[in-house]
Amino acid sequence: MTRTPFKFLDAYGKADTEIFFGREEEVESLYQMSFQTNLLLVYGVSGTGKTSLVQCGLAGKFESSDLFDITIRRKNNLNDAFCDELKKHDLEGSFEADFTADKMIHSLYLDYLRPIYLIFDQFEELFILGSPQEEAMFVKTIKRLLAAELPCKIIIVIREEYLGHLSTFEKSIPQIFDKRLRVEPMSRANARRVIVNTLHSEKIKVTLSDDQVAETIIDKVTEGMGRVQLTYLQVFLDKLYRVAALRGGDKVVFDNELVNEIGRIEDVLRDFLDEQLDVFALEVDTKELGLKWLKLFVSDKGTKIPIKRQDIERAMPELGRLKHFNYLQFFVNRRILRPLDSDQYELIHDSLALKLSQTKTAGIPMPLNVPAKQLPSNPFVNFSSYGPEMAELFFGRDKDTRELFDKVINDTAVRSTLVFGPIGVGKTSLIRAGLMPRVQQLFRTGYLALSRELFELPVFNELFLSPPLKQDPPRFLELFFGEEGKTLSTDERKILIIDQLEEVFIWVTESAQLEFFYRHLAHLIDGHYNCDLVLVIRDEFFANLQDLESFIPGILEEQMRVKHLDRYGAAEVIRRNLHYAKFDVEGEPVMDRILQNVTEGDGKVNLTFLQLYMYKLLST
């Protein structure tokens, strides 16, 4: 892969001041604000260069002796990351064990004798990934820092669409919006200066065939409309350089022919991902697996998220540690991922995350065959539900089974799924005869049907008496797998199904007991135990789950509603089961009569009636 001198998707830093152009006005505004306040807010849409403006533009206005800047990203917790970054710079060992953030900063100032600039970059991560408790602690820390009147500046860099979230900080930090700078997409005139000055700099050394080429590049990047997204400009210049370098010759030249050859900017990022995934398919593994693996670094909102190496391995344990290592090495070397501190990795920019979120992957294929079992002579189950042993005779729900399988197994962005529907619709049969026989072939699977008898077991009753301890394995694992559940490997993916969840709301009425139960459910899928949770509940109890969403965010969104079979589906169930039992239906009038007898007044086929009716019909 040709190495290029452009920043591509990386931000500019202090070492890049000689090639940082086009933001002189914003840099000067930010520089002046830094003398007027100890709290600055820098915001704008993604890709406008906010981080570069602070880390390169502002930093370049100061002599090294006048500025000691510390950049903080949230990682797993913003408050922990803040303290960790401060401790990294305590080279003199001046910090004491009980030092709070304000004492640490005062100590650093005494050691370095330079004003401290705290840059909280990509601050939106706090609102995407954080908790109210994390926010409250951070606000308390910042309020304390400002009150201490230390030689310290705080700069919060945030995407514009998350700016409104800061209004909750205003009560404790009234001045939070007083000094703020909006970074807008770059004007065409400034973008032209960026192109011309960057290409002519000693660090780059690219020749423009004529002055019009810069305008052509801008037209391609903006598609002839509006201002210039700096992210796309950098990606486009990077692609131009790589293609131009392949032409050979003594120097790299950008001309209109080359620019037109590259094509539209909307294709450049997709092309870049495709190029790297094609190489991945040749050198490492399949393209599908590469795509699925990269999606681990994308939030459900289409933004990039940092992930620890061990959490990557837990999310796709079927790959094994060596494959994960090879994937990391490849995508880091190819400038798709970048390493962070604490063994974390992230996509190099949100624009890649958005492209990945819009790309569909095939995922793990659902096994088509189910294990052979000894089947009864009568294929209908009377009042019972179909179980795994009857999977070969479970007809009419192929589409629902596939949809549920993909939601539970292949939607790696979430670890919980809610299945609901009216009584008698066949939810339990769909789970036990449709989903479970397929999932059990791939992963360890646990099934628990709640009942009054279960509530009398001490190990189950304990779930309502006290919250889980973070350091202990989930008690639910013991319920699912017995004593073995206490020692199951976290590398092994587990699919856990809780059926008839409505029983909880029938037998438990105390809100405190319900909260303990919810906390135990959340403990199962907190990321440490590699569990996927499927909850099954009747329609009329759906409203009871509102409080559960506080503990399992998004549970009400990640759902599948099981609907009544239509007449066509019911006819398929009857025909295929009768064929198995070596019975034939003589003509459509007979089938119509059967369907009429099991259809309710609203026109819906009642599966319970159908099973009971056909069971008795075959038993006579």
DSSP symbols for 266-281: HHHHHHHHHHHHHHHH
Specify whether the backbone of 530 is left (phi greater than 0), alpha (psi in -120 to 50) or beta.
left
**Distances in Å between the alpha carbon of 464 and those of 455, 475, 507, 519?**
10, 11, 11, 10
User: How many angstroms separate the CA atoms of 353 and 305, rounded?
Assistant: 9
Pick from 465, 469, 480, 483: nearest CA to 528: 469
Pick from 8, 51, 49, 15: nearest CA to 237: 8
Same fold, 23-182 and 396-561: yes
User: How many angstroms separate the CA atoms of 295 and 307, rounded?
Assistant: 11
Q: Which amino acid, residue 523?
A: H
Tell me yes or no: is domain 267-357 CATH 3.30.9: no
Q: Given this model, what pLDDT does residue 393 score? A: 84
Distance of CA 491 to the CA centre of its chain: 20
User: How many angstroms separate the CA atoms of 201 and 196, rounded?
Assistant: 9
Q: Provide the CB-side half-sphere exposure for 372 (13 A, CA).
A: 0
Domain-by-domain residue ranges, the chain?
23-182, 188-263, 267-357, 396-561, 567-619
Pick from 422, 437, 430: nearest CA to 540: 422
Q: Which residues fall within 8 angstroms of residue 21, CB to CB, at 6 or more apart?
A: 190, 193, 194, 197, 198
User: How many angstroms separate the CA atoms of 294 and 329, rounded?
Assistant: 13
Q: Is 180 helix (H, G, I), strand (E, B) or coil?
A: strand
Q: Provide the CB-side half-sphere exposure for 194 (13 A, CA).
A: 24
Would you tell me which CATH number, out of the four given (3.40.710.10, 3.30.1180.10, 3.40.50.300, 3.65.10.10), belongs to the domain 23-182?
A: 3.40.50.300
- The pTM score is 0.56
Alpha-helix residue ranges (DSSP H) falling in 306-397 = 309-315, 321-333, 350-357
* Contact (CB, 8 A) for 58 and 35: no
Q: Which helix (H) or strand (E) holds 560?
A: strand 559-561
**CATH number for the domain running over 188-263:** 1.10.8
Q: Between the CA atoms of 420, 426, 430 and 433, what dihedral angle is there, to the nearest 10 degrees?
A: 150
Q: Is 538 helix (H, G, I), strand (E, B) or coil?
A: strand
Q: Which amino acid, residue 592?
A: D
Q: Provide the CB-side half-sphere exposure for 448 (13 A, CA).
A: 26
Q: Distance from first CA to last CA of the chain, Å, rounded?
A: 75
Q: Given this model, what pLDDT does residue 471 score? A: 78
Q: Given this model, what pLDDT does residue 413 score? A: 65
Q: Given this model, what pLDDT does residue 70 score? A: 97
Catalogue the E-assigned strands of 485-552: 494-499, 531-538
Alpha-carbon Rg for the chain, nearest whole angstrom, is 30
User: How many angstroms separate the CA atoms of 594 and 570, rounded?
Assistant: 10
* Contact (CB, 8 A) for 302 and 357: yes
User: In the sheet where 416-421 sits, what is the strand order?
Assistant: 444-449, 494-499, 531-538, 416-421, 559-561
User: How many angstroms separate the CA atoms of 430 and 425, rounded?
Assistant: 9
User: How many angstroms separate the CA atoms of 604 and 585, rounded?
Assistant: 22
Residue in the block written with tokens 């769909």: 430
Q: Which CATH fold would you assign to the domain 396-561?
A: Rossmann fold (3.40.50)
Q: Given this model, what pLDDT does residue 271 score? A: 78
**Distances in Å between the alpha carbon of 113 and those of 26, 65, 67, 142, 152?**
28, 8, 9, 21, 11
Give every residue of the chain whose pLDDT is below 50, as ranges: 1
